[in-house]
Structures are given as C-alpha cells and as structure tokens.
C-alpha cells in the first residue's frame, strides 16, 4: 500500500499487443503480460466484440442450483475436452485464489464423503504460490505471504520443491491416512521460475498413487499455451486428479478461473443425494467472463499459440541466458515455458544493498516493464512477442543492470 501513498503512481492508460502507454503517452514493452496473464496480447477487438455481444444478450446470471448459461456450458465442455484428467468435470470461479480454495475444500470434502474425514492434510512446496485466500495463504511456500495473519488453516505443510524424497518423508511423518492432497505448480512461477528436476513429477505422481493422495496441479500461470500446451503439466506426462486454472484462460480480459476434477473426485457430489459440496460464489460461471474466455481460446487455437510459444520459449531462453555473465547476476532460470527469472548475486543483494526493485525501476524508465521479487527479476511476456522485441527486452534489462551496478 505504501507504494501508492509514496510518490507518483504509474498510470496505465492504453495497451495494444505487447505495448502499454502511460498517462503521459510514453510507451513500454509489457515484459510480464500484466501479471502473467495476457497470453494473447492486449487490444484484441475480437474479445471486446464477444463481450459486447454477450453482455447485450445475457449480461449475467447465477449458476446456482440448476441454473446454467450457454457460455459457461460451452467453456466447461471445451476445457474438459483438453484436460489431462480422467473423466473431467469443471467448476468455474472468478479467479485463481478462489479456485485454489475450491480445490482444497473439495479435496477435504471428497475424503469425508469417502468415510475418511481424518484425511485433511494438504502438502505444498517451497516457493509455491497458490493465491492469497484462506487455503492459499496457508499453503504458500513463501514466508512473507504467511506471516502476520494469526493462525492459518491447520493441517497444511510445505516441503522442498525439488525433492520426491522430501514429499515421501512428509507423507510418512503426517501419516498417509491423514493426507488429503498434494498441490504443485508445473513450474513455480511467482516464487521465482523453478522448473522441476528430471523425473520429479513422475515420482510424486507415483507417490500420490501409492498412498492414495489426491494430486492437484495449480496451472494458473502455466496454462493456456505458456508452456506450449493447455495446462502445463502435459510436459511431464502425468495426469493429476484436479487442475486449478485462471489467468490465461481469458488472458485476463475479464476475470475467470476454475477447477477441473476427475470424475472420481466429483462422483460423491454428482450423482449421490445427501452429500452436497456446499460451496460457490456469486459470480461463478459469469456468462460474459466465459464469453471472453471462449473468444480468447479461439485466438489461441486459430493462431496456434501453442506451437508459437515453443519457439518463443527457445528464443527467450537463448536471449536471457546472455545475462548470466553479468556481474550482478547469480543465475538465469529459463528454457521451460515462456518465462524466465534473473536472480541477483547474494553479494549484490546483501553486501552492496542493491534491490531488484531498483533494477525494475531502471528497466521501466527505459521502457520495459518487468516484475521484481526479492531476489529476482521475472519475465513472462505475451505469447505474441517477436524476436526483435525479446532482444529489446533483454538489452534493456542489461542496461538497467549496468546502471544499478555503476550507481552502487
Ligand atoms: N496460483 C498461482 C500459481 C498463481 O500464480 C496465482 C496468481 N499469481 C494464483 C494461484 C492466484 O490467482 P488470483 O490472483 O487470480 O487469485
């Protein structure tokens, strides 16, 4: 909040493709697709038209009880058709955090309906980000998001993000019969872009099967072509019990998220009376948001951004890795998905007192918007970025690093 009260605000006035304009008319490259979501780029009139058509036909109506609407039905069918989940069912929400909490509650409720109410424990990973609702805050793998809120939801724990053994140890410590679910992002995004080690997801999927634990993938960042496929996890050849999605499903033109569950997880709530999953929100299944998502998915498919993004992934990787030799840079993480992190050295951060926000500010002053987390600069452009624009992004980041290096 103090960034709003101290100093001027950065007012974004317009956006088109990969470009933003501020209220002075200055232009910036959107190096982060806003907050990881604008996969098809800004200013798509096709989405605006779809929204206008829908809002003029049926603006909004609840999907409570047996109410439904065509855009929500069509979107659910379309997502289910592509989901790497057995016999998929879709629950729509208004965003990612709400979807995470829906999945966590559904996991616990599922086990209660199976006669195992003691199976409530949720395991997540260091660096993992799952939104900031109640369950998400309790599962987040970064302390700064968890502290100061009193006691969080009980029966949650966080394990090292890169170790199958660490997950098994935690399952055994808690007792397999008490563990409801394991949550993981295909690639850790907001925590700093960490791809899993070779074989990691095969290993954890096997563990989950062995101990009967639900495997829940949080694809909020990794979905909708950012990793060259629909939900990111397809890269690793495993099938989860649930997928949480948001962001790229609508490229953020209107807010939307959801959960895809296997038919098995949905079964206790689907055909059986007396076992309802008492949960839902006012705007879930909002027809206008669903119409925006449908138009967005049309663009992803028509322009084959699934394939295009694989090329961009390679281009971004080779461009951003050239920063690895910069004196302020400790490590560059890239090469899986259209996302990268440039981590600063401990010397720069701790001895020289350099901050990533300084680098962020220098880059923005030079016309490139990046994201700063405590140790790294994050890059996740729209999937329509060109080779020249990637080059411009990376050379601007180098200039920003040089400027900060010289100042200290
Ligand atoms: N999960 C992941 C992996 C995310 O990156 C985010 C948002 N950055 C969320 C959940 C939460 O989504 P929202 O901000 O829409 O609540």
298 and 310 assigned to the same domain: no
Last residue of a domain, one of 287, 302, 317: 302
218 and 150 assigned to the same domain: yes
In the numeric block, the tokens 């899986």 are attached to 336
Separation between Cα atoms, residue 102 and residue 123, nearest integer Å: 16
Query: In terms of DSSP H, where are the helices of 148-273?
Result: 164-174, 200-211, 263-270
134 and 243 assigned to the same domain: yes
The answer to whether 275 and 113 are in contact (CB under 8 A) is yes
ipTM surpasses 0.95: yes
> Which of 34, 98, 131, 133 is the pocket-test mutation for ligand 1 (most atoms within 8 Å of CB)?
131
Evaluate whether residue 139 is within a structural domain. yes
In the numeric block, the tokens 């999953």 are attached to 277
Task: Name residues contacting ligand 1 (CB within 6 A).
Answer: 95-97, 100, 129-131, 185, 189-190, 218, 220-221, 246, 257
Closest ligand 1 atom number to CA of residue 185: 3
* Per-residue pLDDT at 3: 78
* Per-residue pLDDT at 241: 98
172 and 208 assigned to the same domain: yes
Evaluate whether residue 36 is within a structural domain. no
Domain count, the chain: 2
Evaluate whether residue 38 is within a structural domain. no
What is the span of the domain harbouring residue 376? Answer: 2-30+304-407
> pLDDT at residue 9 above 80?
yes
Residue nearest (by alpha carbon) to ligand 1 atom 1: 130
CATH number at residue 308: 3.90.1150.10
For residue 165, count other CB atoms closer than 10 A to its CB. 11
403 and 315 assigned to the same domain: yes
Model confidence, pTM: 0.98
> Which of 36, 38, 96, 142 is the pocket-test mutation for ligand 1 (most atoms within 8 Å of CB)?
96
The helix (H) or strand (E) run that includes residue 379 is strand 376-379
Ligand 1 centroid from CA 60, angstroms: 24
* Per-residue pLDDT at 273: 81
Evaluate whether residue 37 is within a structural domain. no
Evaluate whether residue 254 is within a structural domain. yes
Last residue of a domain, one of 302, 334, 356: 302
Separation between Cα atoms, residue 207 and residue 193, nearest integer Å: 24
Evaluate whether residue 296 is within a structural domain. yes
pLDDT tens readout for residues 31-71: 999 999 999 999 999 999 999 999 999 999 999 989 999 99
88 and 215 assigned to the same domain: yes
> β-pairing, 368-369 with 371-372?
unpaired
């Amino acid at each position: 909040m103090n960034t709003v009260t101290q100093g001027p605000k950065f007012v974004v006035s317009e956006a088109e493709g990969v470009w933003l304009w501020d209220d002075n008319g200055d232009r910036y490259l959107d190096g982060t697709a806003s907050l990881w979501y604008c996969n098809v780029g800004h200013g798509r009139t096709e989405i605006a038209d779809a929204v206008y058509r829908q809002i003029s036909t049926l603006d909004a109506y609840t999907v409570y009880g047996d109410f439904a609407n065509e855009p929500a039905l069509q979107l659910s069918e379309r997502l289910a058709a592509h989901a790497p989940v057995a016999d998929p069912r879709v629950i729509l929400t208004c965003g990612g955090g709400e979807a995470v909490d829906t999945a966590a509650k559904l996991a616990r409720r599922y086990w209660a309906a199976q006669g195992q109410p003691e199976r409530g424990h949720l395991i997540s990973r260091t660096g993992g980000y799952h939104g900031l609702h109640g369950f998400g805050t309790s599962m987040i793998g970064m302390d700064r998001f968890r502290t100061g809120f009193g006691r969080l939801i009980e029966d949650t724990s966080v394990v090292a993000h890169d170790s199958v053994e660490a997950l098994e140890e935690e399952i055994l410590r808690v007792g397999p019969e008490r563990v409801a679910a394991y949550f993981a992002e295909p690639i850790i995004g907001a925590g700093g872009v960490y791809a899993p080690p070779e074989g990691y997801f095969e290993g954890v999927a096997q563990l989950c099967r062995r101990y009967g634990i639900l495997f829940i993938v949080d694809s909020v960042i990794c979905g909708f072509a950012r990793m060259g496929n629909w939900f990111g996890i397809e890269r690793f050849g495993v099938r989860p019990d649930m997928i949480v999605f948001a962001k790229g499903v609508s490229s953020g033109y209107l807010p939307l998220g959801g959960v895809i569950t296997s038919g098995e997880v949905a079964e206790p709530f689907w055909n059986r009376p007396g076992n309802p999953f008492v949960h839902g929100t006012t705007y879930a299944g909002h027809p206008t948001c669903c119409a925006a998502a449908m138009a967005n998915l049309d663009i992803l498919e028509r322009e084959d951004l699934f394939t295009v993004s694989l090329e961009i992934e390679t281009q971004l990787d080779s461009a951003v890795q050239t920063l690895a030799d910069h004196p302020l840079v400790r490590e560059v993480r890239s090469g899986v998905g259209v996302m990268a992190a440039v981590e600063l050295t401990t010397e720069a951060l701790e001895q020289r007192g350099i901050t990533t926000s300084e680098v962020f500010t220098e880059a923005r002053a030079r016309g490139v918007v990046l994201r700063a987390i405590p140790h790294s600069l994050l890059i996740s452009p729209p999937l329509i970025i060109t080779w020249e624009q990637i080059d411009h992004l990376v050379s601007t980041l180098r200039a920003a690093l040089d400027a900060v290096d010289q100042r200290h």
